[in-house]
Amino acid sequence: MNLESGLFPRKTDDVLHGPMTMGEVPESHPRYASLMSRQRLVDAMKEGLLADSALIAHGRGEAFDYLLGEQTTAGATAAITEVAARLLIAKQPVISVNGNTVALACDELLQIADTLRCPLEVNIYYRTPERMAGLLGRIEERATALHLNHVEILGANPNGRIPGLDGPRANCCQEGILGADVVLVPLEDGDRCEALVAMGKQVFVIDLNPLSRTAKTATICIVDEVQRTTSALLSRLNNPKDSDPHFDAAASRRAVLEVMLEALERD
């Protein structure tokens, strides 16, 4: 990734040169955004920020995104609007991030945290000291580049546990996830999503798989790609609509599933 700009690497960036890279990808390439996301993840993997299974998880997400034509659908847009409204009226919101999320949408999530004046907490499934330090370092680096050093970054010193989960994946911060009423957790695991909902929190997730346990158990699942969603969410936070307490999360999820089913039937 271009650490200067935090933007997608351009063909002039070093990252796209040399025998270990994809080679030059012109911006006119129809799969440019997808290829750049892959490059970001490959870079993050080499930097030790990701778990071994991270690329597999991304690949499965890509398959669903292919069925969406790599576009945000109306069902997802409705969910983004409602999530924005609820984040703005939350008492103690928090954004929980993992390795893939940091690799793909760190800047947007820092800007969202700034808008909401809420902390960002690193909370990873496969917690190792090296990965935690690497992710915290990356987020701090981007916060500095964006002049957002005032955004609180949590996760280094967990002082609480999510009830009902075993092992290090339960570790979290009282002043972050544990004490929050609303958690935006872009890419979450089904188990932890269930556990957070069981604690009485509103849990907002982003997951391209409308059939996952995460998608089905979250308070609201935005069935869309994480970078597109975080950009759209940031815009909506700056131009919000009123919250609808009767928002039908299942209907929004199913509306996106319908678009995928239509794609399968079209050919």
Binding mask 183-222 for ligand ATP (x = CB under 6 A): ----x-xx---------------xxxx--xxx--------
Contacts of 102 (CB under 8 A, 6+ apart): 44, 49, 109, 122, 135, 138, 139
Cα angle value 59/237/191 (rounded, 5°): 40
The residue among 100 and 202 lying less far from ligand ATP, judged by its C-beta, is 100
Taking CB under 6 A as the rule, does residue 225 contact ligand ATP? Answer: yes
Taking CB under 6 A as the rule, does residue 8 contact ligand ATP? Answer: no
The residue among 100 and 171 lying less far from ligand ATP, judged by its C-beta, is 100
The residue among 57 and 173 lying less far from ligand ATP, judged by its C-beta, is 57
Taking CB under 5 A as the rule, does residue 189 contact Mg ion? Answer: yes
Bridge partner residues of 94 (DSSP): 183
Please give the C-alpha separations between residue 74 and each of 77, 238, 244, 251, 252, in angstroms, as whole numbers. 5, 19, 16, 11, 8
Q: Which of residues 13-52 bind ligand ATP (CB under 6 A)?
A: none
Taking CB under 5 A as the rule, does residue 207 contact Mg ion? Answer: no
Count of residues engaged in binding ligand ATP, rule: CB under 6 A: 19
The residue among 64 and 204 lying less far from ligand ATP, judged by its C-beta, is 64
Show contacts of 60-65: CB within 8 Å, 24+ apart.
Answer: 60/209, 61/207, 61/208, 61/209, 61/225, 62/34, 62/208, 64/208, 64/209, 64/210, 64/260, 65/34, 65/208, 65/225
Q: Which of residues 95-134 bind ligand ATP (CB under 6 A)?
A: 100, 104
Residue with tokens 């440019």: 32
The residue among 177 and 226 lying less far from ligand ATP, judged by its C-beta, is 226
* Residue 122: closest CA among 44, 177, 166: 177
Taking CB under 5 A as the rule, does residue 107 contact Mg ion? Answer: no
Interface with ligand ATP (CB under 6 A): 57-58, 60-61, 64, 100, 104, 187, 189-190, 206-209, 212-214, 225-226
